[in-house]
Every structure is written in C-alpha cells, then in structure tokens.
Structure 1
C-alpha cells in the first residue's frame, strides 16, 4: 500500500464536508473524527473501516456518489491521524 500524505487542501475539503453534513446526517466534526480514529488505530485489534466509518459519517447517503468530494481524501484520512 502506498503511503500518501494527506494534504492541507484535502483536510479542509473533508472538514467542510463533515460540517455541511453534521446537523442533517450526524457527521462528526473533524477534530472529533480525528480523536475517534486515534482511538481506533491505537486499540489492540484492527477495526475494519465498515465498522468505524459509519460512526464518523453518520447517516450520509452516498448512493449517488460522493457529490464532488474527493474519495481519495477519505481513503487517506485514517493515515492522517498519525501525523
């Protein structure tokens, strides 16, 4: 797996996305999501994304795609908690 740096632009895009869906869909704000993922990756057992991602994204419906959101950024986000 290639370790790619999560850019500041991607971080800002993710923060805007989470904030725009916070009230309606129950997304976590970025700082809370970072703390949540820190706990996920610090635990003694691997937790699969399908278990922790709904906790961050709440009830966001992605059936019609990511609505302009950079899916690569979301895939790189867990690695960003290490930086």
Structure 2
C-alpha cells in the first residue's frame, strides 16, 4: 500500500470529521440498550458514593500544623545552640 502524503491524509481526516452521521461507540450502544430496559436512578452532580464521617474543625488542623512547625524550629535552634563551633 503506497504511503499517503500529508495533503491526502489531511483531506481524509477532514472528510471523516465532516460526516453527517457518526456511529456511536460500542460502550454507548451497550449503555443505551441497558438503560432502555432498566434506566439508572438520578444522581446529584459528582455524588459522593459514601460520605465521610464528621469533619474536624479547620482550627484543629491549623493548630496541629503550626505547632509542628514551631516544634521543628525550636528543635533546630536547640541543635544549633548545642553544636560546638
């Protein structure tokens, strides 16, 4: 089979993209057939399958992060203070 040059290949792609009717994918056909007999139940947009438990306050997370940073700063300062010069 001879190689197509870029102009012919581009023409073929444009011709295919401009087709009046496009066949749906196999998955789309399968879902359409399944939903015809047994339609899915309505779901909210981006529904969470299993909601998490109660959330902690954002203040608790902030205190934990800032406390950890302060502890690391103090630990590094103490290590530099004890280091021999």
TM range (shorter): under 0.3
TM-score scaled by length of structure 1: 0.22
Q: Which has the higher contact order (CA 8 A, sep 6+)?
A: 1
